[in-house]
Chains A and B, each alone.
Chain A
């Protein structure tokens, strides 16, 4: 990540740093929309649109997994999937140090939450491919490979995994609101614009992490 602010600006001055590349931001907001669409189409029995939403989700999540290896620095798993020591250190710093840490990209805890959400989304769409509705009429495109009973059980699991997803999405949102209100750090705007305002010294620290 390059700081693209004025290189001669003294430490302590705010500068703009590019945090998220365009594909990461697009994928993020498309997933938000698709989750809302998937939930509402399931709730109101618009199964045709639910399927379209599911296929789109499969494509988007697959791309995100690919981008985790080929994307820019903060998009890569290598950058944000951290070991337990880093996670514990980060969790402690959340409560003991109120000042900004100037991390660019996912935090060690948030990174694992992202992994959990992506994996659950992948599991969720794959389950949907085999799910069968209570009438034995509507089903995922691969449901002919399983029996009605198995398809029904998969459909129930499809519901349970959605609940689990809600738990991790809530953690994600609560953490972001926590940053916003307790640490005065807006993480939402950078996910829209791709750019984060940080203090110059912080940017360098964040950069060299």
Chain B
């Protein structure tokens, strides 16, 4: 009796396991998308600040710290299992609708679709280099924002932006 109970439990566990893994991956992707959106918001804040006639250095500092803080999370956002999944086949109507209005445009909630390319998981060394470049420039951005040289901050923001673009060019779907 006990043995069969164990068996049933084990079976249930084995069946449930891939589902749990998928749910976990979903959560990772959700965090990833939300995290990068936060990074974008901080970028936006810094841009707005640095192009204004009287930039608030405190605002630049706090946003630079947000970005630098997120760099620690990035490796965890791209662990094995969080790769893009095969999308279900769509009918002609759904295809047309999604071409006209991307699912993200129509979604009432925030963008939850990831645009990560599978290359992240297949060309890991190159991705890690791109990540390290971003991390380095993000840390330099924090240091630069400690000073008072607005021109230097603007230049550093440009450099930081280039590391974003360099990575996106290879590892993010070219959707915009």
Contacts and interface: CB of A to CB of B under 8 A. Distances in A.
B100 A152 contact: no
Contact of A151 (B44, B101, B102): B44
Interface stretch (A78-86, A132-140, A183-191, A196-204): A132-140
A132 B168 contact: no
Given A147-B41, A148-B44, A159-B176, A134 B102 contact: no
17 contacts: A134-B168, A135-B164, A136-B42, A136-B46, A136-B47, A137-B47, A137-B161, A147-B41, A148-B40, A149-B41, A149-B110, A152-B111, A153-B104, A156-B102, A156-B176, A159-B102, A159-B176
Contacts of B111: 152-153, 156
B43 interface: yes
A164 to B, nearest CB: 6
Interface size of A as a range? 20 to 34
B37 interface: yes
B93 interface: no
B165 interface: yes
B105 interface: yes
Most buried by A among B40, B43, B48: B40
A136 B101 CA distance: 22
Given A133-B176, A135-B165, A149-B37, A164 B44 contact: no
Contacts of B47: 136-137, 139
Contact of A132 (B44, B101, B102, B104): B44
B40 A152 contact: yes
Contacts of A149: 37, 41, 110
For the residues of B in contact with A, the DSSP-based class is helix
A27 interface: no
A137 B43 contact: yes
Nearest to A155: B176
A62 interface: no
When A and B form their complex, which 9 residue pairs have the shortest distance between CB atoms, in order from nearest?
A: A136-B44, A136-B43, A148-B44, A148-B41, A156-B105, A160-B101, A136-B40, A160-B105, A163-B100
A164 B40 contact: no
Contact of B48 (A134, A144, A153, A164): A144
Contacts of A164: 100
A43 to B, nearest CB: 10
B92 interface: no
